Amino acid sequence: MFHRIALGGLGLSVAAALAAAGPLQYPKSRTVEHVDEYHGQHVQDPFRWLEDDARVSTDVSGWVEAQNEVTFAYLASIPEREAIKDRLTKLWNYERYSSPFKRGERYFFYKNDGLQNQSVLFVADALDGEPRVLLDPNTLTADGTVALSGVSIRDDGRLMAYGLATAGSDWNEWRVRDIDTGKDLPDVVRWVKFSGASWTKDGKGFFYSRFDAPAEGEAFQQSNLNQKLYYHRLGTDQSEDVLVYKRPDQPEWGFSSGVTEDGDYLIISVWKAGPQNLLFCKPLNDHLGLPIELLNEWEAEYSFIYNDGPIFYLKTDLGAPKGKVVAVDIRNPAKENWKTIIPEAGETLQGVGATGNMLVASYLKDATTQVRMFGLNGRHIRDVQFPGLGTAGGFGGRMADTETFYSFSSFTAPPTSYRYDMLTGESEVFRRAQVDFNPDDYEAKQVFYSSKDGTRVPMFIVHKKGLKLDGTNPTLLYAYGGFGISLTPSFSVSNLAWMEMGGVYAQPNLRGGGEYGEEWHQAGTKLQKQNVFDDFIAAAEWLIANNYTTPSKLAIAGGSNGGLLVGACMTQRPELFGAALPAVGVMDMLRFHKFTIGRAWVHDYGSSDDPEQFQALLAYSPYHALLRQTGKGMKYPATMVTTADTDDRVVPGHSFKFAAALQQAHAGDAPALIRIETKAGHGAGKPTSKIIEEAADRWAFLVKNLGMHNAFDR
């Protein structure tokens, strides 16, 4: 209904007219008299109707179609767009491999030939054996909008449970495939969300969590409550699945589960909002017993690593904001009996795995990866040597394995897979990506700047060598700043295209992230959320003061919580930026918790249900900031909001309302557009073709609005 292909009917005349015309004429966004009362204060919500699902409301679908018509015609009028798309297509067209992992005697990995919409899952009977296709999602739909969302291989390597997500939705449907034959069994498990599958040791079934089927027409907006943990036995209908655990008295609780390597226990991590969780376990030889509430206070984060019989190894931040590893005897689990295995370090402990009779600990030092190997007694054995500062991930396996695999990348180094010998500590290149660029043409560095309150904040800056610091460089400032998520150096084909055109890429590590542990995270939450925006604004001011760029050449971008970041900063300091690209952002901070999984964000944001938090949320809520400026002659930077019709993580109504309010409040000539993708969601599983189209639109928008007229002369 809103497909980009429909723009073909506009013809060149409309695009040419848009290019030659003055200020854009936006579709009319009707307003309604809707007022909510919060703690005695009345708050207008004139675009409340845009919260309705576009699949259900013809008013909203008509608005989406009209907005897309203006946006895509504007983008089509930019002369450089096709050249940008061609270059992105060429850059994307390289073979990409994941690091392999082993189950039984078989190895599994993902491969993309380059422009395939979805990566293909392969299996090989030996590391150097001939691989064969196990599952190719590209054969499931012509447009590549069905993605493989999760995989769980049985220990013997003969059966695979796998999840499929359609059009980017968080909803998954799980099936089971015979790896020998490549054929699916009849088993189908539906209404799964925020859950994987974990096989029992005997291989007769798996555990998973799901929600009840949503009300008709509410699948993409209804609040996700009352998740339940089930066991599915192979060969039976889902209606016969065994209910393992539920808590109707705690509707906001969710359950993530996994079977221990020895098969003796089911580990249940109970979550609701924020990083804190509970940890339960269920002995699997006791079919009728309830799970044991091992750690039942919401006081810290607990991650199960491995068990040696009743001795559980856990990663936790209890009394250690940067993380530590403890051993807990579940027969006597009182905290005074815990044994510290890996004490808190100066660096942030990101994660711990167990393989090759070692604990593999991944740390962050100023947002770059360090990996250290420890014995089960906590003795430091060795560090993994990487080829530079960057990001490493992988190191999976079983305790008896003598090898593991990992991937390393940086801003200027495409992902390379390595085989790591657990006995010798030697790494060898397994597969290296070949991308059409010369990494020696680029440089990356890390700087530190002071935020508004004096806090020292790190920032990566990447660009072509020979950059002149004359204040004229088009610069993209990208960040996230929330939920304890860390932004580390990673390779991006899209960002490479930006830098080829002479752009500077800057990535600060704001408070609210996890780069420096839980204290750094908490410093950017709830009543302290403004710290995140101050850190981002200070990064922009540093780039300007150090002659990288100037406000008219500075663009800001971020997605999800990062979309909120962009929305808040462009409304607080509109004169500081030349362009803004808020993607799938949380823009109405008074109502986010009422949709799908938004309730889980209250730990970071707070809630309008709380009087003090309401005032803080209202003060920075991007949507409400725009409503307050309507009719006051405020000029905002050139803005292209992006969202998708099937985003059931951050529902598109956030972006719809923000865009409508922006078009109403904006008194300048710079464009205020919204680009609404169809058959896509929050970002996961997006087809390569859509990624390229969106990146081409994003860079074309910046080329035009940052005055990059010589973008292809560099």
User: pLDDT by residue (tens digit) across 71-96?
Assistant: 999 999 999 999 999 999 999 999 99
DSSP class of residue 487 equals P
Lowest mean pLDDT across 17-26, 74-83, 167-176, 678-687? 17-26
From 257, 560, 607, 608, the catalytic residue: 560
Weakest mean pLDDT among 212-221, 277-286, 412-421:
212-221
| Catalytic-residue membership of 682 | yes
- What's residue 18's pLDDT? 45
pLDDT for 11 equals 34
Q: What would the mean pLDDT of 180-189 be, rounded to a whole number? A: 96
Q: Give me the catalytic one of 463, 654, 666, 682.
A: 682
19, pLDDT greater than 80:
no
pLDDT value at 7 more than 70: no
- Model confidence pLDDT, tens digit, residues 101-141: 999 999 999 999 999 999 999 999 999 999 999 999 999 99
Exposure string (b/e) for 481-516, b if CB count within 10 Å is 16 or more? bbbbebbbbebbbbbbbbbbbbbbbbbbbbbbbbbb
Q: Specify which residues 146 forms β-bridges with.
A: 166
Is-contact 61 54, C-beta < 8 A?
yes
User: pLDDT at residue 714 above 70?
Assistant: no
Please list, in sequence order, all residues whose beta carbon lies within 8 angstroms of the beta carbon of residue 457, skipping any fewer than 6 positions away: 448, 449, 450, 451, 508, 509, 510, 511, 535, 538, 539
pLDDT bracket for residue 167 (50, 70, 90): confident
23: pLDDT confidence band, cut at 50, 70 and 90?
confident
Two tokens, residue 136: 């190719």
> Has 380 been annotated as catalytic?
no
Whole-number Å distance between alpha carbons of 591 and 422? 50
Per residue in 481-540, pLDDT (tens digit) is: 999 999 999 999 999 999 999 999 999 999 999 999 999 999 999 999 999 999 999 999
pLDDT at site 482: 97
As a whole-number percent, the residues of the chain with pLDDT over 70 amount to: 96
Residue 220's pLDDT band (cuts 50, 70, 90): confident
pLDDT band at 22 (very low <50, low <70, confident <90, very high): low
The encoded tokens of residue 314 equal 């856990």
Spatial distance between the Cα atoms of 342 and 326, rounded to a whole number of angstroms: 7
Confidence of residue 681 (pLDDT cuts 50, 70, 90): low
For residue 705, the model assigns a pLDDT of 98
Q: How many residues does the chain have?
A: 714
Q: Is the pLDDT of residue 672 over 80?
A: yes
Mean predicted confidence (pLDDT) in 20-25: 69
Alpha helices in 228-374 (DSSP H): none
Residue 12: per-residue pLDDT: 33
Nearest to 686 by CA among 99, 146, 91, 84: 146
341 pLDDT more than 50: yes
For residue 633, what is the DSSP state? Answer: T
Model pTM? 0.92
pLDDT of 190 strictly over 90? yes
* Average pLDDT over all residues of the chain: 93
Query: What is the model's pLDDT at position 1?
Result: 28
Beta bridge partners of 103: 106
Q: Is the pLDDT of residue 14 over 50?
A: no
Half-sphere exposure of 323 (CA within 13 A, CB side): 25
Q: Are 549 and 504 in contact (CB under 8 A)?
A: yes
Q: What percent of the chain is modeled with pLDDT above 90?
A: 85
What are the structure tokens assigned to 204, written together? 């007769």
